[in-house]
Amino acid sequence: MFLILLFLHSLFRWLVLISLIYTIIFFASKYIRKLPFTNSDNRIRHWTATIAHLQLLIGMAIYFKSPVVSYFRSPEKKLISGINDFSFYGLIHISMMITAIVIITLGSAFSKREDNEQKKFFLVVICYGIALLIILCAIPWPFSPLAQRPFFRNL
């Protein structure tokens, strides 16, 4: 079950990144051209946030099942100096990703409630853009100095 969750989390990483990048570019172009906010724009905003929330749920399931992260929940844990897999996944990755999802949620909610159509686009572009930067920093890329994982996980 744990390996399936890791595979899904790896797969959804790309869905989150693609949907965020697409939404940011699409909404920025509509904002620049001063186009109206349509129902399809609302669906794009909603589905991008939904994909990010699904990724969070998969990540939380992994977090509570992970042998790496379980170290932080054990009473006999020792002080860890520096950044390694334990501190990255137990603290940095999870806190940055939750922060990004909160920013996505706030941007989606504020945009949904905004009356000014141009401000709707602006809110989504800013909030989703900030969240994207946080996510890109918190992903364990193969070239990351914090923790390395492959681009795709196998089953």
Domain ranges of the chain: 1-7+44-72+83-155
Q: pLDDT tier at 37 (50, 70, 90 boundaries)?
A: very high
Measured CA to CA, the distance from residue 2 to residue 102 in angstroms comes to 25
Are the beta carbons of 76 and 97 closer than 8 angstroms? no
| Mean pLDDT confidence for 15-39 | 97
pLDDT recorded at residue 93 = 85
More confident residue, 26 or 89: 26
Residue 14 belongs to what H/E stretch? helix 2-32
- pLDDT tens digits for range 99-155: 999 999 999 999 999 999 999 999 999 999 999 999 998 888 777 766 667 666 776
CA angle 44, 98, 150 (to 5 degrees): 85
Query: What is the Cα gyration radius of the chain?
Result: 17
Name 17's Cβ contacts closer than 8 Å, sequence gap at least 6.
132, 135, 136
pTM of the model: 0.85
Measured CA to CA, the distance from residue 92 to residue 110 in angstroms comes to 27
| Mean pLDDT confidence for 47-52 | 97
Measured CA to CA, the distance from residue 64 to residue 73 in angstroms comes to 9
